[in-house]
Structures are given as C-alpha cells and as structure tokens.
A and B are shown apart, each in its own frame.
Chain A
C-alpha cells in the first residue's frame, strides 16, 4: 500500500535560519500533498498544500516543492521564529481515495 517517509525526525535550527523537511511517497497515483503543523496537545493544522499539477507553492515564509518524477516533496520554512516550533506532518492522497497517508512527523525546534 501507499507509504510516506519523512525526514528528519527532529530538526533544531537557530532563529532566523531556514528549515527543510522532506517526504517521499510510494504511490505514483498520489496527487495531493498537504502539510500539517501540530502543537503540543492540539490537533493538526493545515499550513500549506500542493497538488500534482504544480511544482511549487509559496505562502509568506512557507513554501512546498513537489518532484513527481522522484516522488518527493519538501516543506521550506524561511526566517524561522520560536513560534514555528512544533511537530510537522506531511501527507499524501490520491483521487480515488479520501484517505491521507501521513509521514512519521518532524519535531522542529527553533532556538531563540
């Protein structure tokens, strides 16, 4: 079945630096790739998503890139701030299914 691998599992950066989280998916039919931010004790919050008909999407300090050939997509956070500290999950799904297949998560720590 579909599998999504996410790396790294933990990431520590200095405030102001950039952070990059990478995910690889197995099912070439996948065409929707959302990213979620989860703070401690809360539900995941959708922060950005991308569909397979585009290669890059940007929203202020957050961007996502998609390489369909290599079957991987990445989250880029620039000018990181302490409030960016959280667990980030990538996910993938395909048109024939409503299900999201989640990565294992990345714990991001932004040091002041």
Chain B
C-alpha cells in the first residue's frame, strides 16, 4: 500500500518552454500533497504544500507564478514549471499524505533544461 507515482520520470526541454509533472496516489486518497526539489547530494527542499480544492501554499523564496501547482482531486496533483531555464534543472519529488504527518514519496522526476 501507500504507492505514489510520478510522470514523467525524466524530461528534457528547451529553455523557455513549460513542463508539467504529475503526481498520483495510487491506492489511497491524499488530502495533502507536497512538492520538493532536490539538488545533487543535498537534502529535500520543500517548495509548496498542496491541498485538494484549494490554492497551494508556497515556501518562502519559491515563485508561485513560475511553479504552478494544481491539486484537482484527492489522488492527483500537478506541478508546472513555466518558462523553464537551465537553473530550474533539478530532481523534483512529490509526496502524498493519507493522514496527519505521514508522507509517502513518488519516485521523482529528473528535469533537464537545455
């Protein structure tokens, strides 16, 4: 149980384009989903908290107009990186929470912006 999927697992795009990443909880409903960013050999950095049916809460320093988050259902959240630039290249990981505090992570999406 508690399986979270992400799609795509890897994406390469040109600078200036937008990329959408999907996060799904496969066997449970998640009221809350989280989006993280991870640079090589570093810890996870929380970008935003997403609640189903409401606007996401972004962490300080994260541009909400650049990283668009939609949590349309209890099993799906999407992160769209708009007008991507090389500095946005990173490993993006989502997590889903079936209940208070527990978080189960997806396999991550490697984004490379050329």
Interface of A is mostly: loop
Within the complex, which residue of B42, B101, B107 is in contact with A43, where a contact is CB–CB below 8 Å?
B107
Contact A42 B101 (CB under 8 A): no
Across the interface, do A98 and B100 meet the contact criterion of CB distance under 8 Å?
Answer: yes
Interface residues of A in 5-42 (CB under 8 A from B): 32, 34, 36, 41-42
Give Cα A112–Cα B76 distance, bound, in whole angstroms.
41
Evaluate contact between A41 and B108: CB separation under 8 angstroms.
yes
**Total cross-chain contacts (CB, 8 A):** 52
Give the B interface residue count (CB, 8 A). Answer: 22
Q: List B residues 57-114 near A (Cβ within 8 Å).
A: 93, 97, 100-108, 110
Beta-carbon contact of B101 and A93 below 8 Å: yes
Asked whether B32 is an interface residue with its Cβ less than 8 Å from the other chain, the reply is yes
Kindly report which residue of chain B lies nearest to residue A97, judged by CB atoms. Answer: B101
Total contacting residues, chain A, CB less than 8 A: 20
When the two chains form their complex, are residues A98 and B49 in contact, meaning their CB atoms are under 8 A apart? yes
Q: Is B54 among interface residues, defined by CB-CB distance under 8 A?
A: no
Rounded to whole Å, the gap between the CB of B93 and the closest CB of chain A is 5
The 8 Å CB contact of B44, one of A41, A89, A95, is A89
Choose from B42, B46, B93 the contact partner of A99 (Cβ within 8 Å): B46
A38 to B106, CA, bound (A): 11
Known contacts: A42-B108, A43-B105. The answer to whether A98 contacts B43 by CB under 8 A is: no
Bound Cα distance from A23 to B105, whole angstroms: 21
Contact residues of A between 29 and 60, Cβ < 8 Å to B: 32, 34, 36, 41-46, 49
**Chain B residue nearest to A4 in the complex (CB):** B43
In the complex, residue of chain B having the shortest beta-carbon distance to the beta carbon of A51: B101
Q: In chain B between 33 and 66, which residues have their CB closer than 8 angstroms to a CB of chain A?
A: 34, 42-44, 46, 49
A32 to B42, CA, bound (A): 22
Instruction: Tell me the minimal C-beta distance from B49 to chain A in angstroms.
Output: 7
Instruction: List the interface of chain B (C-beta within 8 A of A).
Output: 2, 4, 6, 32, 34, 42-44, 46, 49, 93, 97, 100-108, 110
A→B interface (CB under 8 Å) = 32, 34, 36, 41-46, 49, 89, 93, 95, 98-100, 102-105
